[in-house]
Amino acid sequence: MATRVAQRRERIYVDGEWIETDDTLSVTDLADGGTFAQIAAAGPTEARTALAAAHEIKPELRETTVVERATWCESIAEGLREREEELAEVIVREAGKPISSARGEVASAAERFDRAAEEARNIVSKGEFREGSTSGHEGWNAIVKHEPIGAVLCITPYNYPLATTALQVAPALAAGNSVLLKPASKTPVSSAILADVIDDVDGIPDGAFNFVPGEASEIGDVLSGDDRVNAIAMTGSSGAGKHVARESGMVNLHMELGGNAPAVVFDDADLTDVAGNCVKGSLKYAGQRCSAVSRVVANESVHDDLVDQIDTQMDAWEAGDLFDENTAFGPLISEDQAEWVQELVDDAVEKGADLVRGGERRAPEGVPDELGDQFFEPTLLANVPQDARIVDEEQFGPVAAVTTFEDDEEAVEIANGSDLALDAAVFTSDYDRAMEMADRIDAGAVRINGAPSHGLGDIPFGGNKDSGIGREGLDASIHEMMRKKSIIL
C-alpha cells in the first residue's frame, strides 16, 4: 500500500488566479479511509466571477490561431505525463480505482489533449468554398469556416475524473473556447492538478480556463442558467442532465448520460467469449461505468450454460488493496451508491431471480471499517424476471443480471424496453443477424461480439432517449464546440 502524502489543500482557479474560499469540500480517501484532501468550494459569487472571466476573454481567444491552441494542448499533455504518479495516486484515493486503472486513466487524458490538437488542425484545414446553386444566388461565392462557439461549461463525473474531464476540456480549448470546469464534488482533486498544469502553460490567457469546484446545489444553476455560457458538455446521470437542460436555455447541449447496456446473446454465440466479455463489462471499476454491461439478455436455450461460465469467470475478480497491481476492483464511490445497488439486487430476488453468487456488501481483509459498507460483492443474478427494476434502471454496481428471451422479437423488445439507450452488445456468429439486431436496437452504439467500450473516443459515442444529447469523441466533440460561419464574397 502506498504511503499517503500529507493531506492536500486545493484552491479554485478563476481568471488566472488561485482563490481561497470560506467553504470547503472534503474528499474521502477510498484507499485508506479518512479525508485526504480539502478543496475550496466555489459559491455563487465565485461562480459569477468565473462566468464573467470566461465571457470577457472570448474576443481574445477568437483571435488565437489553431497553431497556438494546438501547442497549448500538447503542453498540457506533456504536463500531465510529468505528473503521472501523483495523478494516479490521487485517482486511486478519490475515485477508488485500482492503481493499474488509475495509471491508464492518466495516459488516456494526456493522449486526449494530444489528439485534440490534431483534430483542431484538421478541422480548420478543411474549410468549404461554395457557389450559389439556387435562383437568385447565381454567381454567389462563399467561404464556410469554423469558429469557436464561445464559453463552454464542462460538468464532469466521478467515475473518470481526469479522462472524461480531458475529453471535454481538450476539444473546448483546442477549438478556441473559454472553459468553466465544474468537477464532481466527490472527485475534484485530479481536476485541480489539471488546473495547475494549465496554469503553467505559456500563452493561455487569463480567463480561458476556470476551475470552479463546489456543490451542485450551490453553483450548478448559477453556472448552467447563465446566458454567457454558449455550450454545456456534461457527463452524468439522466436526472441531473434533464435538470441542467431545463435551466440552460438556448445553448448547445452536449450530454452523455446514464446507461443500462444490454448484451444480447444468441444460441450460436461462443459462450466462453461471451462470459469473459460480460464479466469484464459488468465488473470493471465495480460496474461504475455508463457503458457497463448492466443486463445479459440470453436466448433461453443457452441461459444455464452461460450462467455457469459467468460464475466461473467471476472467481478471478476480487476486491483488495487499491495499490496492489493485481487488484481487480475497489469500493463503490459512497455508501449511498452501495445501498442503491443493494436495493436493485434485493428487488430482483424478491421478484424471483436466482442469486447465484454475491448479493451483499462485504469488504476484503484490511479495509478500514469506515469503508466496509462501500464494497459490494461481485454478484450474479440468473433467471431475472423482466419486471425486475434492474432490467431497466441504471445500477452502477458490480452485478451481472441474466434474463432470457425466446426469439429475436422478444430480444429487441427487452433491449429497447429501458428509457436508457447509450450502449448495447450483440453476440452471435451470424453476420446478417448481428447487423439486423444492431440496426433494430435503440442505442447510440452497438458492439458486435464484444463488450461496449468508449476508449479514447476515436469512434463517436453517446446516447439516445434519456441517455444524452449529441455524440462525444475526439472529433465529434470538437465539432460540437465550434460553429460555422458563412462569408459571402
Query: For residue 94, which of 11, 20, 159 has the smallest C-alpha distance?
Result: 159
Please give the pLDDT value at position 1. Answer: 47
| Residue 230 burial by Cβ neighbours in a 10 Å radius (0-12, 13-18, 19+) | buried
Number of H helices, E strands in the chain: 15, 23
How confident is the model at residue 71, as a pLDDT? 98
User: According to the model, what pLDDT value does residue 367 have?
Assistant: 87
DSSP secondary structure letters along 473-489: STTHHHHHTEEEEEEE-
Residues sharing a CB contact under 8 Å with residue 85, sequence separation 6 or more, in sequence order? none
Residue in 318, 341, 340, 315 with CA at minimum distance from that of residue 329: 318
Find out whether 286 and 340 touch, Cβ atoms under 8 Å.
no
pLDDT digits (tens, 9 = 90+) for 150-174: 999 999 999 999 999 999 999 999 9
Look at residue 294 and tell me whether its pLDDT is greater than 80: yes
- Return d(Cα 24, Cα 5) in angstroms, integer: 19
SS3 9: strand
The conformation of residue 361, written as its DSSP 8-state character, comes to B
Q: Please give the C-alpha separations between residue 264 and each of 95, 279, 354, 464, 473, in angstroms, as whole numbers.
A: 30, 14, 19, 18, 25
* Average pLDDT over every residue of 58-86: 97
Cell of 24: 470547503
Q: What is the pLDDT of residues 112-130, one digit of tens each?
A: 999 999 999 998 888 899 9
Percent of the chain with pLDDT over 90: 92
Specify which residues 465 forms β-bridges with: 420
Q: What is the pLDDT of residues 438-481, one digit of tens each?
A: 999 999 999 999 999 998 888 999 999 999 999 998 889 999 99
Answer whether residue 3 shows pLDDT above 80.
no
Q: Give the pairing type, strands 399-405 and 379-382.
A: parallel
Which residues, listed in sequence order, are joined to residue 27 by a DSSP beta bridge? 37
Cell of 381: 443474478
Helix or strand holding residue 224 (H, E): helix 216-224
Buried b (16+ CB within 10 A) or exposed e, 16-54: eeebebeebbebbbbbbeeebbebbbbbeebbbbbbbbb
Signed CA dihedral, 415, 420, 421, 423: sign only = negative
What the block records as the C-alpha cell of 33 is 479511509
Q: How far apart are CA 152 and CA 251, in angstroms?
A: 10
Check if the beta carbon of residue 426 is closer than 8 Å to that of residue 293. no
pLDDT, averaged across the chain: 95
**Among the listed residues 281, 287, 279, the one whose alpha carbon sits nearest the alpha carbon of residue 309:** 279
Q: How far is CA 291 from each of CA 285, 378, 421, 461, 477, rounded to the nearest angstrom?
A: 11, 17, 10, 10, 18
How high is the pLDDT of residue 27?
Answer: 96
Predicted local distance difference test score (pLDDT) of residue 366: 84
pLDDT at residue 7, as a whole number = 78
Give 360-406 pLDDT, tens digit per residue. Answer: 998 888 888 889 999 999 999 999 999 999 999 999 999 999 999 99
pLDDT in tens, 201-228: 999 999 999 999 999 999 999 999 999 9
* Amino acid identity for residue 320 in this structure: G
Q: Is the pLDDT of residue 131 over 60?
A: yes
Q: Which of 74, 94, 256, 377 is flagged as catalytic?
A: 256
Q: Is 82 a catalytic residue?
A: no
Q: Which three cell numbers stand for residue 77?
A: 499533455
Can you give the pLDDT at residue 170? 97
Sign (positive/negative) of CA torsion 82, 86, 89, 91? negative
pLDDT value of position 2: 54
Q: What is the pTM of this model?
A: 0.95
Q: Above 90 in pLDDT, residue 334?
A: yes
Name 404's bridge partners: 298
pLDDT band with cut points at 50, 70 and 90 for residue 4? low
- The residue assigned the cell 440496426 is 439
Helical (H) or strand (E) element with 420: strand 420-421
